[in-house]
Structures are given as C-alpha cells and as structure tokens.
Amino acid sequence: MSDIHTRTIHKRTCHICEANCGVLFETEGRKVISIKGNPDNPLSRGYICPKATAIADLQDDPDRLRTPVKRVGDTWEPMEWDDAYREIAARVAEVDPDGSSSAFYRGNPSAHDYALVLQSRHLQRAVGARRSYSASTLDQMPHHYVQYQMYGHVSLAAVPDIDHSQHIVILGGNPMASNGSLWTVPDFRGRVRELHNRGGTLTVVDPRRTETAKIADHWVPVKPGTDTALLIAILKSVLEAKPALRPGLAEVCDDGLDTVREAVAGFDIEKLSAFCGVAPEEIAALAKPFTGDEPAALYGRMGVSVCEFGALNQWLVQVINLASGNLDRVGGTMFPKPLFDLVGLNGRGAVSTVETARGTLPSVMGETPMVAFADEMLREDAGRIRVLFVQSGNPVLSAPDGLKTEEGLKSLDLMVALDPHITETSRHAHYILPPCGPLEKDHFNMFFGPLSVRNFGAYSKPTFEMEEGAKADSDIVEELAVAVHAAKNTSAPNIQTPREQLDAMLKASPAGMTLAEVEAMEDGVDLGPLEPCIKDRLRTDSGLIHVAPPELVADLARFTQSMAETADDALRLIGRRHVRSNNSWLHNSRRLVKGPDRCTLMIHPVDAEARGIVDGDTISITSQVTSVETTAEVTEDVMQGVVSLPHGWGHNRKGLSWQTAADHAGVSINDLIDTQRFDALTGNAVLNGIAVSVAARERAIAS
C-alpha cells in the first residue's frame, strides 16, 4: 500500500483572533505544507497575519498534552478519559454538592470556539456554579455596558464603516497589531490604503506611537487614563457646531442630547487640555472631522476601556458619533446585520450587581469582575470558592496581581483546567483535560460577525480527522457534565450537538440559512456592506436610543472630582501587544516568538537619561504591588512620562510544559497591577496608567 498522500487545499477561517481571516491550508496527509490567505474570502480578501501561520504549530506542538493528567505531588500522571471524568465528578459531588462554592473562568480562546460556548453552559449547570468570571471584565465590559444602556442589548455594537469613511479617529486601539478588537477588520493596512486613495485621513490618539499610528496621518499623544477629558472637549466642539441631530437620526433618539449638553457645559477646554496633555488647537483638529459633512467614525478601544472611567469613555465615544450625525451612517459607525445574529437570538443581557468578598460590585452579563477573583478564593468564610473550572484561560498572566491569583489557586480544594498545556495557571490544577488540535475541530465565527465591517459569516469543517483518543473541548465539557449529574444522582438533560444548535440559530437569524447551506459556501456567506438599519436593531423598551443614561451622566461628577486631585510625577505604565502575539497562548509557537526580544520596557529618552538608563540595560520596574526586571528599550515611540510593557508574558514560573514559551519567558505586566482600582460602573479592571518607578538594576540594588 502506498504511503504517498495527495496534496489537498482546505478552506478555513483562522480562529486565532477577531479578524477571522479566510485561510488556505495546503496539506499532505496530516502535514501542513503551506498556509496562505484566501483571496476569494470577501471579508479578508486574501490577507492573513503571522498568527494564522502558527496554527500548524498549535496542531503539531510536541508540548501539547494528548491525554488527561492528574497532579500527584509534584508530578503529573496520565489518565483515561472515563477515569478522569469519574474522579472529577466524585470530587465535585463531595466538595460542593450544591455548587454554591464553585466557579468558572473562561479565557479568550473560549470565545473563538462556538461549540465550547454552547456546551459549556451544560457543565456549569451540572456543577451548579453560580459565579462566572472571564477575560471580558479585564478589557471590554465598558462596551457591553454602554451598548445595553443606550441601545438595549449588550452585543449591539456600532462599528466604524472604514470601507466608506473619509475620516477615522482611533483612541487607544491598535488594529495593525490586533486586526481589530471588538471591530472585525482584517487587512486593516489595505483598508487604510483605500481610505487614503479616496482622500481620507486616519488619526491615532495614544500615549505610544503604535504600529497603527505609524501608518496614520496624525499621531496625537495623550496622558494615560485622561481620555475622558479629551472626549469631553471634542464633544463640546461637536455640540457647538451641530446643535441638532440630523434628520432621520433624531427620530430614533430620546431627548437626552439636551441633558448631555447641559452636563458638559461647565467643563473648560483649557483645563481639559491641561489634564490630558493635548493642546487646545490639537483638540480642535481632532474635533474637526466630526463638525463637517464628510462621513467620519470615532473608535475607542483598550486604552480607553481599561481605566477608571472606561464606561464613561465608551459612552462619550458613542455620543460624539451620534451628535456629529455619523451614527447609523454609511462611512460613520454602523450596526452589522450578520449571518448569525446574536442580537435577535438572545435576550438583551443584563446589568446588575453581585455580592463578593470586596462587597457589592457591578455585574455585566452575569459576570463577577476579575478584580475580585483572587479575593473570592482567599476569603475565609462560607463564600470562598473551593471548586474552579478554568476553560482555555491563563488568569495568572492576564488578571491583575498575578502573584495574588496564584495564592488563590493554591487554596482551592478542586481545580480542573481545560487546556492543552501545563501553563502558569493550569499547573495549579488537580486535573488537566486537554482538547484536540485546532485543525481537528470545526469552526464558526459566532461572536465576530456582529462586529464585522461586512455582513458576513463562515463555517469551517475539520481539516483533519481526530487523532485516536483525542476529544474536542465541547465533547469534554458535555461528557463531564453527564458524569457530574451521575455523581449527584440528578438527571442529565437531553443535550443537542453543537451542530444541531448552530443550525437552529442560523435558521432563526434574518438570513434564515441552514448550516448545510452555509457549509457548502467555503468562502463564506457575504451579505454585503453595512447599511443603515438602526430602527430594526434597537432593543430598548422605548424603541429609542437612550442618549443620556442617568448612571453615565452622573459619572461625569466622579470624573470632575478626579481632575481636582493632585497628580504625582510617577511614570505611568501602559501595556501593548504585537501582531505576532495574542495574550499568552501563542508563545509556544517557535515561528512567532523567534527574533528579537519583544518583552522590553519602552521608555522615552528624556526619562531614561534622568535615571541613568541606556538602551539594553537590565532595569527594575516597581509598583505598589511588586517589582520585576526586564530590558530597557529607549525610544521616542512613547511619550515622556510613560513606559510600556507588553501583555501576556511571564513564563518564568516553575513546572510548565510549554518549553518554547519558557525559553522566551519575559515578565508579566499584570504582576505589577493591583486589584483595588476598577471602573465603578462595570467592575472592569484598571490596567492602564499604573504608577511605577524604573531604575537601572545597579541603582535598584544600591537603594
């Protein structure tokens, strides 16, 4: 029998980030020969970034676990699946039979696995866990909160229509590295090129000259955590130039714009300018695209979300787009109507509160803020988390105060991790259940169609058959749920397969297609460019946009008070990301981590000289939480008074299985960040503008 395999081209959607690019995998047997962009994909148009080329590394990773393992002392013992399910289920029934002391944490990769999303809820119900944590309260809850308050649904997002805009202004976002975040915009560079070809402009406001700022027409540095002042100043200019809403938009708004006008009237432009570090004339230039007639869009992302006024910032972004007449306008910001419609299928979501070890905290979409995560594990009363399930997450590196999070994980009576590696987080688990390789699973871009620059959707069937003994994430949680029900002597529900559920939800979406019809269209289903549709999309009880939600208007007073507080002269720490990285979970790919060290501290030459630091020095960074050491990168790409350390590194813990990541350990920025500061409206963690001191290592030792 011949061992020669025919080379085959498989069309697939990249599952690594929110861009969801179409990819061509050329394979021979189970070997990936090449990975290229799919030119026939109408959304990504042939573009892929380096992350897509690493999918083969994830599939073939020699460090990836292939069977369940159980921690026994300092060693890991392989297990059969049924034995692992039985032991875990018995421990759940023994330690926390009613689920009152159990919790789930879901990491970023979970959102890219539709089947896991659909089946995970069955495991949580079987366990009875009432507390849910996720990466969402680390970076994006301000978006969901504002969307709920203004438009009536946590997932109803208005995204920049970059394909038809004349002016794009980005605050605290870096789509050249992220390919869009809560904005699915693959081939961002190509789309900016088209923007420039039609005479349009791109402006980036950020404390760092990001990769996006380097292709922009203008870069405007701003002090970290002060974007609220800048946004208020821009809004005042817009309201002065455009006192009334444009026809058509006015009919779908309540009378809240007058409330907004009154609320910002007392702010002085000069004081706002001094607070944020952006000159008045620069503020006027930023406002100009929103006071004219050409379509423009304002987009605010991470930098304006992970601060104490994240929700207030996102509301101001929405109000500027609305007041300038650019909301629900071609070339402005628009609401997608994708193949799979989250807004039409689910309830509106919820904004409420939750009781924690830290007292009453905000809760958006039923989640407990991550700022309380470690405290909930370390508390000494009946409310302590004793049982934790971690799905595709690494909170030791992604949550504030990683050292405190580690202490909490050590205190658990039972921890189960769904993870292909022994990571900084899963090394504390009692059991690790590893999913199959990514090319052995199907894929559907469930969460990202509603954020896309085109009305689009795509389904990818598995590229390879499952390896013997391997299981998909969705199968693991479903089978474990059945085992937990058996251990508790409760009845397991009739659980539909993920495909059956997806098929039903696609049929219930506006396009009404079956999964079989979608699967047959390998390049994806293109429903065309974004179109004005706000009347059909609003989910508020009144059917109108709530322009001035009282909670957000009231938060302006809290911001006013913060402006009056005396600022110190400490350096302010911000994060950053790279196009070859995605949080912590791609760092075991040799092709992505190769090259120069990227876990460096960017520092402005003036700040470096004042501290006797030269490029390449080993330096210490100290916050009120702890100190870490890394390498100085002296550069004018950060503004004076600001230092930048990338997110997702810190693979310098013991006992890890991902050797490539450990060989490129770096340090974790989140070890420096405390859990005490958060956005009062959403509970979102504050990860930006952290006060730190920086010194050359010799100076740190001497002191």
Average pLDDT over residues 497-513: 95
> H/E/C letters for each residue in 505-543?
HHHHCCCCCCHHHHHHCCCCEEEEECCCCHHHHCCCCCC
Q: Cα-flanking dihedrals φ and ψ of residue 363, to 5°? A: -135, 120
Q: Does some domain include residue 482? A: yes
Average pLDDT over residues 37-45: 97
Is the pLDDT confidence value at 700 over 80?
Answer: no
- pLDDT score of 629: 97
Answer for the pair 337, 533: CB distance below 8 angstroms, yes or no. yes
pLDDT band per the 50, 70, 90 thresholds, residue 2 = very low
Closest to 373 in 3D by CA, of 395, 354, 397:
395
Measured between alpha carbons, how far is 547 from 315 in angstroms, rounded to an integer? 9
Please state whether 694 falls in left (phi above 0), alpha (psi between -120 and 50) or beta.
beta
Dump pLDDT digits (tens) for 385-441: 999 999 999 999 999 999 999 999 999 999 999 999 999 999 999 999 999 999 999
Average pLDDT over residues 466-473: 96
Count of alpha carbons within 13 angstroms of residue 702, beta-carbon side: 6
- pLDDT score of 568: 72
Average pLDDT over residues 33-60: 95
Answer for the pair 297, 167: CB distance below 8 angstroms, yes or no. yes
Dump pLDDT digits (tens) for 599-633: 999 999 999 999 999 999 999 999 999 999 999 99
Measured between alpha carbons, how far is 8 from 32 in angstroms, rounded to an integer? 10
- pLDDT score of 3: 54
Number of domains observed in the structure of the chain: 4
Average pLDDT over residues 491-516: 95
Q: Does some domain include residue 144? A: no
Pair (170, 209) in one structural domain: yes
- pLDDT score of 697: 83
Measured between alpha carbons, how far is 282 from 220 in angstroms, rounded to an integer? 8
Pair (380, 456) in one structural domain: yes
Residues 6+ apart with CB under 8 A from 494: none
Which has more pLDDT, 591 or 353?
353
- The CATH number assigned to the domain holding 368 equals 3.40.50.740
Answer for the pair 629, 600: CB distance below 8 angstroms, yes or no. no
List strand residue ranges (DSSP E) for 85-194, in order.
Answer: 102-106, 131-134, 159-160, 167-171
Is the pLDDT confidence value at 567 over 70?
Answer: no
Average pLDDT over residues 121-136: 97
Pair (73, 222) in one structural domain: no
Answer for the pair 495, 481: CB distance below 8 angstroms, yes or no. yes
Q: Does some domain include residue 1? A: no
Q: In this structure, what token pair is assigned to residue 387? A: 């049982």
- pLDDT score of 566: 59
- pLDDT score of 305: 97
Residue 504's CB: how many other CB atoms inside 10 A?
A: 13
Average pLDDT over residues 336-348: 89
Q: Does some domain include residue 324? A: yes
Q: Does some domain include residue 417? A: yes
Pair (118, 166) in one structural domain: no
Strands 359-364 and 7-13: unpaired
- The CATH number assigned to the domain holding 250 equals 3.40.228.10
Alpha helices per DSSP H over 324-472: 342-345, 373-378, 395-398, 402-410
Pair (373, 290) in one structural domain: no
Pair (241, 323) in one structural domain: yes
Pair (628, 684) in one structural domain: yes
Looking at this protein, which amino acid is placed at residue 65?
A: L
Q: Does some domain include residue 250? A: yes
Strands 167-171 and 296-300: parallel
- The CATH number assigned to the domain holding 43 equals 2.20.25.90
Pair (654, 516) in one structural domain: no
Pair (366, 424) in one structural domain: yes
pLDDT band per the 50, 70, 90 thresholds, residue 273 = very high
Count of alpha carbons within 13 angstroms of residue 68, beta-carbon side: 23
Measured between alpha carbons, how far is 148 from 549 in angstroms, rounded to an integer? 10
Average pLDDT over residues 583-592: 89
Domain that holds residue 28: 7-60
- pLDDT score of 4: 64
Pair (174, 307) in one structural domain: yes
Answer for the pair 64, 50: CB distance below 8 angstroms, yes or no. no
Looking at this protein, which amino acid is placed at residue 580?
A: R
Write the DSSP symbol of residue 465.
P
Dump pLDDT digits (tens) for 276-310: 999 999 999 999 999 999 999 999 999 999 999 99
Closest to 233 in 3D by CA, of 559, 677, 689, 641:
559
Q: Does some domain include residue 530? A: no
Mean model confidence pLDDT for the chain: 95
Q: Does some domain include residue 15? A: yes
List strand residue ranges (DSSP E) for 175-262, in order.
Answer: 201-205, 218-220
Q: Quickly tell me which residue has 């911001």 as its tokens.
A: 559
Measured between alpha carbons, how far is 494 from 281 in angstroms, rounded to an integer? 63
Pair (350, 330) in one structural domain: no
Q: Is 464 helix (H, G, I), strand (E, B) or coil?
A: coil
Pair (545, 472) in one structural domain: no
Q: Quickly tell me which residue has 């809240």 as its tokens.
A: 256
